[in-house]
């Protein structure tokens, strides 16, 4: 592959050298387990596998075969060390569209390492991170959004993340882009034909017709761009810092949200001296909750360090939950805290409502959603969870084929910007040759989304983030 970002290539053009090599890797996670898999892909996958183990029956496509793993097949010693199940997937009906063999032995690192070393001795090459999926992409088996979804599925921490990745693997994003791209291609063909046959008295496409077609292309792209707001949140998750003065119930609310006694709760102010974190899922949105030390003036060194870390967590968090005591009026520290989060995604939990009754004289908290809660009884906790979700997603609804990473978002943003430039040029009576430049820029951006035209260094960056063996 070349390393020039200015030299985009299509997937078939990049598939040259890799196709002649057979690669091998352990495809299961490091460590011990019930099963461990060594995977081979390439033209010699079947022949190498046949030499790696003693097969009881010859390999046959889409059939599992029992085999014995021998201690040292090279010297002819037939010491039995393990049993394995060998499955052969013949090209093109495999993950990589090449011949693929998977050897499933017991998950002993020693046995798997023995098999991998022998495979390399017999002519295979150790696979690079993500190389199996890269070969699937280069062979046309997957497009780039589907390849990225493989990594996302492996990395998923919530069921919603797994479902989203599964949808992308099924081509949800590609299917959403396809009709837009088709409309764009039809407009390009129409304008190209008008230019090519201008001397033959064929009518040039009217300005209003071009405007109408562009107007049909832009809204689906805009909707797709907007999907990034929720797609990114589902993909990456957010951090929520729970802050407030001591003894207002921060740790108790933290425990309610994580649904277990994770943080220590006592009646003594200043119990929390360090950050306590826990990862949870709210309606499929991954959230890292951070319980912080109470904000106040303190002379104790340990508490001062905890308060300093609380302020750092407050500054770094994407979302903030300010906890106030419903039985007490705002103090100066809380007023400064409310001012500090002005303009940021934040909520206020007015806690201890089970004790407050009608005693609390509510002071104005401008610009922030305030919810009444009781960490003791659980009152208002469900409403608080829902508000956190709304704050995290900005009200964006879940939908199939959402954009999930910055690369995808930039591709759609570029396509949308180019379409807007084409619309402006058309409205100003610009010659069709110049309008075509903007339309082609939009097409190239859509091609880069699915990987039909993508610089090799971008491909290398994407697949290098995969684990070895995938």
> 189-215: per-residue pLDDT in tens?
888 877 765 554 555 688 899 999 999
Same domain? For 380 and 249 the reply is yes
The pLDDT value given to residue 184: 92
Q: Is residue 411 part of a domain?
A: yes
Domain count, the chain: 3
Range of the domain at 428: 168-227+401-450
If one compares 203 and 64, the residue with the highest pLDDT of the two is 64
Cα separation values, 194 from 125, 204, 435, 460, Å: 53, 5, 13, 40
If one compares 302 and 423, the residue with the highest pLDDT of the two is 423
Same domain? For 23 and 117 the reply is yes
Same domain? For 218 and 130 the reply is no
Is residue 377 over pLDDT 80?
yes
Cα separation values, 397 from 223, 231, 234, 248, 381, Å: 11, 10, 11, 33, 22
Is residue 249 over pLDDT 60?
yes
Specify which residues 281 forms β-bridges with: 286
Tokens 């929390």 correspond to 272
Specify which residues 370 forms β-bridges with: 348
CATH of residue 417: 1.20.120.430
Same domain? For 246 and 316 the reply is yes
pLDDT tier for residue 18 given thresholds of 50, 70 and 90: very low
CA distance 185 to 198: 20
What mean pLDDT value characterizes the chain?
83
Distance in angstroms between the alpha carbons of the first and the last residue of the chain = 20
Same domain? For 245 and 345 the reply is yes
Same domain? For 332 and 363 the reply is yes
Cα–Cα nearest to 283, from 168, 388, 172, 369: 388
Q: Is residue 108 part of a domain?
A: yes
pLDDT tier for residue 23 given thresholds of 50, 70 and 90: very high
Same domain? For 111 and 204 the reply is no
SS3 85: strand
pLDDT tier for residue 285 given thresholds of 50, 70 and 90: confident
pLDDT tier for residue 369 given thresholds of 50, 70 and 90: confident
Q: Is residue 161 part of a domain?
A: no
Strands (E), 207-311: 238-243, 276-282, 285-291
What does the block give as tokens for 146?
């589907």
Cα separation values, 274 from 186, 202, 251, 323, 431, Å: 61, 76, 12, 17, 65
The pLDDT value given to residue 424: 95
The pLDDT value given to residue 196: 60
How do residues 73-105 score in pLDDT, each as one tens digit? 455 556 788 999 999 999 999 999 999 999 999
Same domain? For 271 and 127 the reply is no
What does the block give as tokens for 189?
């063909």
What does the block give as tokens for 232?
């990114």
How do residues 215-231 score in pLDDT, each as one tens digit? 999 999 999 999 998 88
Cα–Cα nearest to 84, from 70, 72, 94, 73: 70
pLDDT tier for residue 298 given thresholds of 50, 70 and 90: low
């Amino acid at each position: 592959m070349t390393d020039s970002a200015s030299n985009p290539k299509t997937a078939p053009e990049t598939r040259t050298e890799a196709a002649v090599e057979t690669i091998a890797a352990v495809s299961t996670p490091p460590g011990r387990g019930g099963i461990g898999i060594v995977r081979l892909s390439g033209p010699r996958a079947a022949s190498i596998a046949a030499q790696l183990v003693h097969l009881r029956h010859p390999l046959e496509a889409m059939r599992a075969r029992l085999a014995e793993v021998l201690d040292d097949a090279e010297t002819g010693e037939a010491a039995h060390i393990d049993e394995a199940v060998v499955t052969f997937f013949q090209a093109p009906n495999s993950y990589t569209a090449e011949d693929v063999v998977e050897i499933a032995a017991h998950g002993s690192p020693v046995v798997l390492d023995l098999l991998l070393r022998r495979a390399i001795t017999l002519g295979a090459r150790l696979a690079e991170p993500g190389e199996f999926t890269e070969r699937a992409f280069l062979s046309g088996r997957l497009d780039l959004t589907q390849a990225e979804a493989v990594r996302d599925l492996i990395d998923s921490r919530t069921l919603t993340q797994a479902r989203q990745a599964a949808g992308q693997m099924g081509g949800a994003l590609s299917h959403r882009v396809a009709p837009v791209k088709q409309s764009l291609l039809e407009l390009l063909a129409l304008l190209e034909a008008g230019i090519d046959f201008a001397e033959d008295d064929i009518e040039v496409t009217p300005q209003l017709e071009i405007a109408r077609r562009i107007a049909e292309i832009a809204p689906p792209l805009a909707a797709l761009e907007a999907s990034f707001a929720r797609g990114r949140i589902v993909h990456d998750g957010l951090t929520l810092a729970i802050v407030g003065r001591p003894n207002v119930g921060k740790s108790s609310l933290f425990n309610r949200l994580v649904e277990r006694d994770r943080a220590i709760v006592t009646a003594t102010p200043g119990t929390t001296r360090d950050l306590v974190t826990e990862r949870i899922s709210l309606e499929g949105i991954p959230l890292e909750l951070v319980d912080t030390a109470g904000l106040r003036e303190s002379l104790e060194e340990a508490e001062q360090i905890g308060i300093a870390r609380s302020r750092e967590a407050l500054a770094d968090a994407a979302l903030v939950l300010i906890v106030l005591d419903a039985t007490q009026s705002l103090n100066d520290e809380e007023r400064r805290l409310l001012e500090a989060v002005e303009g940021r995604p934040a909520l206020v939990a007015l806690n201890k409502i089970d004790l407050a009754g009608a005693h609390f004289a509510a002071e104005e908290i401008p610009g922030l959603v305030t919810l009444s809660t009781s960490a003791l009884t659980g009152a208002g906790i469900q409403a608080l969870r829902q508000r956190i979700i709304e704050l995290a997603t900005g009200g964006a609804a879940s939908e199939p084929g959402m954009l999930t990473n910055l690369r995808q978002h930039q591709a759609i943003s570029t396509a949308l910007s180019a379409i807007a430039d084409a619309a402006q040029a058309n409205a100003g009576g610009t010659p069709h040759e110049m309008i075509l430049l903007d339309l082609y820029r939009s097409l190239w951006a859509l091609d880069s989304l699915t990987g039909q035209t993508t610089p090799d260094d971008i491909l290398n960056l994407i697949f290098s983030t995969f684990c070895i063996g995938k």
